[in-house]
Amino acid sequence: MKVTLSWTLRAVSLAALMTAGAAIAQDKEPVSPLPAPKAVNPAAAELGKKLFFDPRLSKSGFISCNSCHNLSMGGSDNLKTSIGHNWQQGPINSPTVLNSNLNLAQFWDGRAKDLKEQAGGPIANPGEMAFTHELAIETLRSIPGYVAEFKQVFKTDKLTIDEVTRAIAAFEETLVTPNSRFDQWLDGDKTALTKDELAGYKLFKDSGCVACHNGPNFGGNSFQKMGVVQAYKTASTAQGRVDVTGKDADRLNFKVPTLRNIELTYPYFHDGAAETMTQAVDLMGRLQLGREFTTDENVKIVAFLKTLTGQQPQIALPILPPSSDKTPKPRPFN
């Protein structure tokens, strides 16, 4: 009887293994495929898309969320550090907005707890969009097309920064990039990666990269010190997590960036100092792991990293509702 039961259980387990091959494969890995995007109200996301592309949320009328989180370019601006109002040089590299809902917090130092909180930041940052929430709201309230759409989405006449940032966050939650070649491999398609790419993935795991870059977003789920084994030399004045916690131990601790779509989100690091994936892999090895990757190892890791490019969001460019005669005029030059 005992033997029979054991065999029965074995048979059941085997069947489970066979039908759930993909799940089993990913269970063994320290990373996982992207989850499906959180279900959001499509009307809120559509409104949020308009706001994301609308430069009238800036003092100049020239800078929108999409200026620095460009959805044509991996949700980043591909600049070392960003350009703000009056061509100010930003202090930090623009992180991608893609899959950002998976991050434990927003901004490099995690000072915003979620996308909604983040969305209000750049609008009012004097070095970025240089507006105020009050003027942004006055602007939106003067635009009949927006007034009607906010009412339709939120079922209220209230149009405040709360509704604005909720809508932008709803849009951003849709910005998920599934089905990278690596995800296909994780899901069981063993032909999705080449031998070199797989060798790169093995190096990525065996060398310790995966200690920080793990989970569904290959990062974004912890703060880590930049420069663990060797101190990081940079002209950047960004201090990282210490600015939020006040704890000296958090100096130069930054949110670990996602590696998804890394091929599109150059340059790298919080200061944008690594121009290429080759440089980033080399420096990460030295600074964080105390390891010098050989050229061959570096090439393989980079080949693996390029398999993390997912399907980019299909965005129909929004047509923005026109200003009215009462809309405050943009002030780019004063």
CB nearer to a copy of itself: pick between 215 and 257? 257
By CB under 8 A, name the binding residues for a copy of itself.
53-56, 60-62, 67, 70-74, 77-79, 83, 86-87, 89, 263-264, 266, 275-276, 278, 312, 314-320, 322-323, 325, 329-330, 332-333
As measured in angstroms, the least distance from the Cβ of 76 to a copy of itself is: 11
Estimate to the nearest angstrom the gap between the alpha carbon of 269 and the chain centroid.
Answer: 13
Distance CA 292, CA 284 (A): 9
End-to-end CA distance of the chain: 87
As measured in angstroms, the least distance from the Cβ of 17 to a copy of itself is: 38
As measured in angstroms, the least distance from the Cβ of 60 to a copy of itself is: 7
As measured in angstroms, the least distance from the Cβ of 81 to a copy of itself is: 9
CB nearer to a copy of itself: pick between 110 and 267? 267
CB nearer to a copy of itself: pick between 135 and 320? 320
Distance CA 304, CA 29 (A): 15
175, 99 contact by CB (below 8 A): yes
DSSP codes joined into one string, 270-295 = TT--B-SHHHHHHHHIIIII-----H
Distance CA 127, CA 106 (A): 18
CB nearer to a copy of itself: pick between 47 and 105? 47
Distance CA 145, CA 47 (A): 11
CB nearer to a copy of itself: pick between 74 and 110? 74
As measured in angstroms, the least distance from the Cβ of 308 to a copy of itself is: 13
Strand, helix or coil for residue 89 = strand
Q: Angle 287-220-40 (CA atoms, 0-180°, nearest 5)?
A: 165
Q: Which residues are catalytic?
A: 128
254, 241 contact by CB (below 8 A): yes
CB nearer to a copy of itself: pick between 131 and 223? 131
Structure tokens at 308: 């993390």
Residues 6+ apart with CB under 8 A from 147: 140, 141, 159
Tell me phi and psi for residue 21, to 5 degrees.
-55, -40
Distance CA 248, CA 15 (A): 53
Distance CA 149, CA 137 (A): 14
As measured in angstroms, the least distance from the Cβ of 309 to a copy of itself is: 8
Estimate to the nearest angstrom the gap between the alpha carbon of 131 and the chain centroid.
Answer: 24
